[in-house]
């Protein structure tokens, strides 16, 4: 056998092995895993679910625990929680998008802001998940094929309990107060522990940026009002630490002014023609995406 033929055989063998490894990894993305929660503060744990890094937070009180969002449905959340606590667990969703509610089916008690009911009702359907996947590249859809199939096939909890009128949930010596942060969705809600200053933001503001380009998103001007309110909570010392709905768990509070500056740039037209055409702007490495309907 000639040298060049041997080289081709080696290359072919490498490609076969690499292809098999890639296929095995793609299949593994669709498996239901037991999550390993990371302790990020006293009585507060976090886990990231799925390729889109949907963050899930476990907050412990003396009498019960709260799970803030449940991700894509790809994690055996009760099994992971059992490694940390035997307290009864309730779920509190920050908003109605499928990548934050799809693991609700593991739990009996689920709270969610009723102002996101329309969003929730759409996002519990397979059709909406498939529609969302059309917004990503064909390669990503191919790569996430098995994960998407699992997300679409897990049981779906079709109901929830609206957040209590008193404005908080008591976990026993630890209260989570509801903070409305409309913009990403009409009902986007953060949960605040005033004793520790911890604010669980969902997608109202994330370490990566914010999406205001969805059919349910509110105008940029409304989002600026949300950011101003959030900044007031920081200025008065109520909010000391912020936890993101995607990406890195912990956010510095200066992200608020950074995002506000970006929103002002968009509304004032201080962006490039390409950014305006793409409806996407980056400020301090964080994105803001909008639609024609929310550009006001």
What CATH number does residue 267 fall under? Answer: 3.60.15.10
Question: In terms of domains, do 67 and 210 share one?
Answer: yes
Tokens of 255: 């992200």
* Tens-digit pLDDT profile for residues 241-267: 999 999 999 999 999 999 999 999 999
Q: Is residue 296 part of a domain?
A: no
Distance CA 147, CA 3 (A): 42
Tell me the H-state helices in the chain: 3-28, 77-82, 98-101, 117-123, 126-133, 138-143, 145-153, 220-235, 255-268, 273-278
Question: In terms of domains, do 5 and 149 share one?
Answer: no
> Could you tell me which of 61, 151, 72, 157 has the C-alpha nearest to residue 108?
157
How many CA within 13 A on the CB side of residue 162?
A: 9
Distance CA 184, CA 92 (A): 17
Q: How high is the pLDDT of residue 152?
A: 95
Residue 129 Cα distances to 139, 151, 200, angstroms: 17, 8, 25
Question: In terms of domains, do 176 and 279 share one?
Answer: yes
The DSSP 8-state label assigned to residue 185 in this structure reads S
* Tens-digit pLDDT profile for residues 159-193: 999 999 999 999 999 999 999 999 999 999 999 99
Residue bearing tokens 């529609």? 131
- Compute the mean pLDDT over every residue in the chain, rounded to the nearest whole number: 95
Question: In terms of domains, do 157 and 52 share one?
Answer: yes
Distance CA 129, CA 247 (A): 20
Q: What phi and psi values does residue 262 have, to the nearest 5 degrees?
A: -65, -40
Question: In terms of domains, do 3 and 65 share one?
Answer: no
Region 52-63: mean pLDDT is 97
* Tens-digit pLDDT profile for residues 120-157: 999 999 999 999 988 889 998 998 999 999 999 999 99
The DSSP 8-state label assigned to residue 104 in this structure reads G
Question: In terms of domains, do 96 and 236 share one?
Answer: yes
Q: Is residue 121 part of a domain?
A: yes
Answer whether residue 198 shows pLDDT above 80.
Answer: yes
Cβ 148 vs Cβ 73: under 8 Å: no
Helix axes 255-268, 220-235, angle to 10 degrees: 150
Counted domains in the chain: 2
């Amino acid at each position: 056998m000639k040298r060049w033929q041997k080289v081709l055989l080696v290359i072919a063998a490498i490609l076969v092995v690499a292809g098999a490894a890639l296929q095995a990894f793609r299949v593994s993305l669709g498996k239901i895993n037991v999550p390993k929660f990371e302790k990020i503060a006293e009585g507060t744990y976090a886990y990231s679910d799925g390729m889109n890094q949907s963050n899930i937070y476990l907050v412990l009180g003396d009498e019960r625990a709260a799970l803030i969002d449940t991700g894509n449905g790809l994690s055996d959340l009760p099994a992971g929680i059992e490694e940390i606590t035997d307290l009864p667990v309730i779920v509190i969703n920050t908003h109605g998008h499928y990548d934050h509610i799809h693991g609700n089916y593991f739990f009996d008690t689920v709270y969610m802001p009723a102002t996101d009911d329309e969003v929730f009702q759409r996002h519990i359907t397979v059709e909406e998940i498939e529609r969302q996947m059309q917004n990503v590249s064909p390669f990503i859809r191919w790569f996430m094929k098995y994960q998407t199939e699992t997300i679409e096939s897990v049981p779906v909890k079709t109901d929830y309990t609206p957040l209590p009128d008193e404005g908080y949930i008591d976990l026993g010596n630890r209260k989570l107060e509801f903070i409305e942060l409309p913009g990403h969705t009409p009902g986007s809600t953060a949960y605040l522990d005033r004793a520790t200053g911890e604010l669980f933001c969902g997608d109202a503001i994330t370490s990566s940026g914010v999406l205001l380009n969805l059919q349910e998103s509110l105008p940029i001007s409304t989002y600026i009002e949300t950011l101003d309110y959030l900044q007031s909570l920081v200025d008065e010392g109520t909010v000391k630490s912020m936890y993101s709905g995607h990406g890195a768990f912990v956010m510095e509070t200066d992200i608020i002014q950074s995002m506000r500056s970006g929103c002002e740039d968009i509304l004032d037209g201080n962006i490039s023609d390409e950014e305006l055409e793409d409806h996407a702007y980056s400020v301090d490495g964080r994105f803001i995406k909008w639609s024609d309907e929310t550009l006001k």
